[in-house]
A and B are shown apart, each in its own frame.
Chain A
Amino acid sequence: MSSPSAPDSLTETAERRVVSSAQGDAPDKDWVIVTRGITRQYEMGGEIVRALRGVDLAVRRNEYVAIMGPSGSGKSTLMNLIGCLDTPTSGEYWLNGLQVSTMSDDALAQVRNKEIGFVFQTFNLLPRATALQNVELPLVYAGIASGERKKRAASALERVQLAERMSHKPNELSGGQRQRVAIARALVNEPSILLADEPTGNLDSQTSEEIMRVFEGLASQGQTVIMVTHEPEIAAHARRVVVLRDGLIASDDSGDVYRTSRLGQGH
């Protein structure tokens, strides 16, 4: 159980080869994410919690991946690591050809700025800023001048059909609109990956479907999407589902397989 090897369901594939090649080998450009045996431990009340116990994961450009797992399975920890908000205790993590597992705080901030677009369950928009100002934020930290920033933020909002709501503050927008502002903000820097953490967790099912359609559209345009969720209905939208259990990958399948197996179990 503590073995960091890949589960049996993962057959000899390109994924298998890229994660098991020698440590320190830069994966080729095709791979956006490669993790090799990453672990994450932290202390909580004097006890060492091993949240991740050796995760090997490889994601190609343009993939649409859902990460699932029960609470406590380590999916949030994995998301934080993939999102460069945190660094692994051991193992290596390559993001878009860069080894980020050993980077300093400020270097990680720049990687987050350029490579990652976050979409959170609670939207995490700044309440006092307008939709446009919220979308501009990543560009502010990228050091882009005000005029160019406004143009790019506006076009990102157009992409999520919110062109008429630019000057509204978050509390003047519906939940679905807020999440679309957050998606526009995530996309504005043209990141390598769109990283969504329970993106529909605070939305009703109709709005959830609407947001899923936005993700679907982005994925079909070639955007790499990684989505953490515990809802099978949401995960079913992805083309590949990775299931975590007790800090290890329990299964890694295409969404279709997951859907079929789920149907097979009589759900």
Chain B
Amino acid sequence: MPLFEAVLLALQTIRTQKLKSFFTMLGVCIGVTFLIAVVSIVEGMSLYMENDLVGKLLAVNTFEVRSRPNVNIGSTTEAMWREYQRRPRLMEQDVAPVVAALPPEALWAPMSSDNNISATTLTGRPKAVQAYNTTRTYFEIKKMGVAAGRVFSPQEDAMGSLVVVIGKDVKDHFFANVDPIGKELRLGNLPYTVIGVAESQGSALGFSFDKFIVAPYTSPLRRLTNRQKGVIDAVMVKSPSEAIMTATMADVQEVMRSVRKLRPGEKDNFVLETSSSALSFFAKIKQYLVLAGVVLPAIGLIVGAIVIMNIMLVAVAERTREIGVRKSLGARRRDIMAQFLVESTTLSILGAAIGVALGAALAKIIAAVSPLPASVALWSVIVAVIVGAGVGIIAGVYPASRASRLDPVVALRSE
């Protein structure tokens, strides 16, 4: 019997016994539901990390030369911290050799920052902000536009003028109902003029990315972001394309090693941080989460397989007469075997398909009522369907082979 017709026959059998079929596929259905839901949430978190969290901190095709990693997602041990503390800081004089190693089309910006600078106005309450001293190229590297006003001009950059571009949260705090452009913001007792408000950078896991101010690199704020003379935090580099990013990073690494006078075999005492290096630890956790997301539902699937096997054994017993009739009409062993295998597999795949739908719905519901994001991964759907088929085949082999070996004389005599 061709497979297509065998599937039609199986569907017909399943349709005539709706309730029984439903309970038969319940195990597989629940297993797949949780598989899809867990994997979707893990996958969603991972996308969130990549695009919203780390992606906001480190843009595409960019890397930051730093003395120690800026983004630490749970991966740092105490020993590593101590080693980071001993590292020499990045200095202003390191910028020139790094820039010399870059291809001409690359964008770069030095940066000095502090995440706890107090900003005040004459009337408002003070607020701690993330302060950056950097050049106007920073906005280009970060692809950060302005919602109002403008970014620094080259002249302001060069002169270190007392101007700032502020984040949305800073604007909302100090200038809730007024136009902030041209207003004064005091940083370290110096009056800075607000020239622009950056587009909202959103938030991740409850942390806002809009609590910042950006001032020209050489502006007096520089003395507050790094009190030690000549110390900076990073050189940000945007490679012109993904293709030469690796080569560019290798060149910069060479230069930095010679600046730091590292001998061959000595470890780097600086980092070239990219979004993927920042995510490496999360990628490791994700493997375990996905493994758990696959292994735990597997227990449900094993139960599902046992249920299917039992129901199929009952079906074979109930339909002994039918098997006898089919055999008397010329069905060979393999025809009967195929009929019951296709039936159990169809049931199981159907269960898996319903599980995929329920799992995706469950993930969406969890995403809607909690801060956990969800994203249904195509591979998990494919895995679910393959697993469903596998469960059906494995659970169906024994009952189907019993059915196929029935003696037609005995089978025809059964009630």
Q: Is the pairing of A and B real?
A: yes
B-contacting residues of A (Cβ < 8 Å)?
Answer: 80, 83, 85-86, 105-106, 109-110, 112-114, 118, 120, 124-126, 128, 137-138, 140-142, 146, 185, 189
Determine the residue in chain A with the shortest Cβ distance to B319: A126
Contacts of A118 in B (CB 8 A): 328-329
Q: Is the CB of A120 within 8 A of B412?
A: yes
Determine the residue in chain A with the shortest Cβ distance to B324: A124
B330, B331, B334 interface centre (most CB from chain A within 10 Å): B330
Q: Is B409 on the interface with A (CB-CB < 8 A)?
A: yes
Q: Is the CB of B328 within 8 A of A142?
A: no
Q: Is B12 on the interface with A (CB-CB < 8 A)?
A: yes
Determine the residue in chain B with the shortest Cβ distance to A128: B16
Given A86-B409, A106-B333, A126 contacting B325 (CB threshold 8 A) = yes
Q: Is the CB of A83 within 8 A of B328?
A: yes
Cα–Cα distance between A86 and B16 once the two chains are bound (Å)? 33
Contacts of B322 in A (CB 8 A): 126
Q: Is the CB of A140 within 8 A of B5?
A: yes
Q: How far is the CB of A89 from chain B (nearest CB, A)?
A: 14
Q: How large is the interface on B (under 10, 10 to 19, 20 to 34, 35 or more residues)?
A: 20 to 34
Contacts of B329 in A (CB 8 A): 112-113, 118, 137-138, 141, 185
Q: Is the CB of B412 within 8 A of A85?
A: yes
Contacts of A125 in B (CB 8 A): 325
Q: How far is the CB of A127 from chain B (nearest CB, A)?
A: 8
Q: How far is the CB of A198 from chain B (nearest CB, A)?
A: 13
Q: Is the CB of B330 within 8 A of A138?
A: yes
- Additional pairs, 15, CB under 8 Å, beyond known A112-B328, A141-B329: A80-B409, A85-B409, A109-B331, A109-B332, A110-B330, A110-B332, A114-B330, A118-B329, A124-B324, A124-B325, A124-B412, A141-B326, A141-B331, A141-B335, A142-B330
Determine the residue in chain B with the shortest Cβ distance to A123: B325
The digit string for B3-33, where 1 denotes a CB below 8 A from any CB of A, is 0010000001100100000000000000000
Q: Is the CB of B412 within 8 A of A105?
A: no
Q: Is B69 on the interface with A (CB-CB < 8 A)?
A: no
Q: How far is the CB of A134 from chain B (nearest CB, A)?
A: 9
Q: How far is the CB of A122 from chain B (nearest CB, A)?
A: 9
Cα–Cα distance between A128 and B16 once the two chains are bound (Å)? 8
Determine the residue in chain B with the shortest Cβ distance to A110: B330
Q: How far is the CB of B415 from chain A (nearest CB, A)?
A: 10
Contacts of A113 in B (CB 8 A): 329-330
Q: How far is the CB of B266 from chain A (nearest CB, A)?
A: 74
Q: Is the CB of A141 within 8 A of B1?
A: yes
Q: Is B238 on the interface with A (CB-CB < 8 A)?
A: no
Cα–Cα distance between A118 and B12 once the two chains are bound (Å)? 25
Q: Is the CB of A137 within 8 A of B326?
A: yes
B321, B324, B333: the one contacting A105 at CB < 8 Å is B333
Determine the residue in chain B with the shortest Cβ distance to A107: B332
Contacts of B332 in A (CB 8 A): 105-106, 109-110, 141
Contacts of A105 in B (CB 8 A): 332-333
Q: Is B408 on the interface with A (CB-CB < 8 A)?
A: yes
Cα–Cα distance between A109 and B1 once the two chains are bound (Å)? 14
B12, B321, B330: the one contacting A109 at CB < 8 Å is B330
The digit string for B308-331, where 1 denotes a CB below 8 A from any CB of A, is 000000000000011011111111
Q: Can you list 14 A-B contacts (CB < 8 A)? A: A83-B328, A85-B327, A85-B408, A105-B332, A106-B332, A109-B331, A109-B333, A126-B322, A128-B13, A137-B329, A141-B326, A141-B329, A141-B332, A185-B329
Determine the residue in chain B with the shortest Cβ distance to A188: B329
Q: How far is the CB of A172 from chain B (nearest CB, A)?
A: 15
Shortest 8 CB-CB distances between A and B: which pairs?
A113-B330, A141-B330, A109-B332, A106-B332, A138-B329, A124-B325, A85-B408, A85-B409
Contacts of A109 in B (CB 8 A): 327, 330-333, 335
Contacts of B326 in A (CB 8 A): 137, 141
Cα–Cα distance between A95 and B251 once the two chains are bound (Å)? 87
The digit string for B71-91, where 1 denotes a CB below 8 A from any CB of A, is 000000000000000000000
Q: Is the CB of A85 within 8 A of B328?
A: yes
Contacts of B12 in A (CB 8 A): 128
Cα–Cα distance between A63 and B386 once the two chains are bound (Å)? 56
Cα–Cα distance between A177 and B410 once the two chains are bound (Å)? 26
CB within 8 Å of A: which B347-393 residues: none
A80, A124, A189: the one contacting B321 at CB < 8 Å is A124
Contacts of A126 in B (CB 8 A): 322, 325
Cα–Cα distance between A120 and B327 once the two chains are bound (Å)? 14
Determine the residue in chain B with the shortest Cβ distance to A189: B330
Contacts of B334 in A (CB 8 A): 106
Cα–Cα distance between A128 and B331 once the two chains are bound (Å)? 18
Contacts of B331 in A (CB 8 A): 109, 141
B1, B322, B325, B327 interface centre (most CB from chain A within 10 Å): B325
B12, B321, B327, B407 interface centre (most CB from chain A within 10 Å): B327
Cα–Cα distance between A86 and B406 once the two chains are bound (Å)? 12
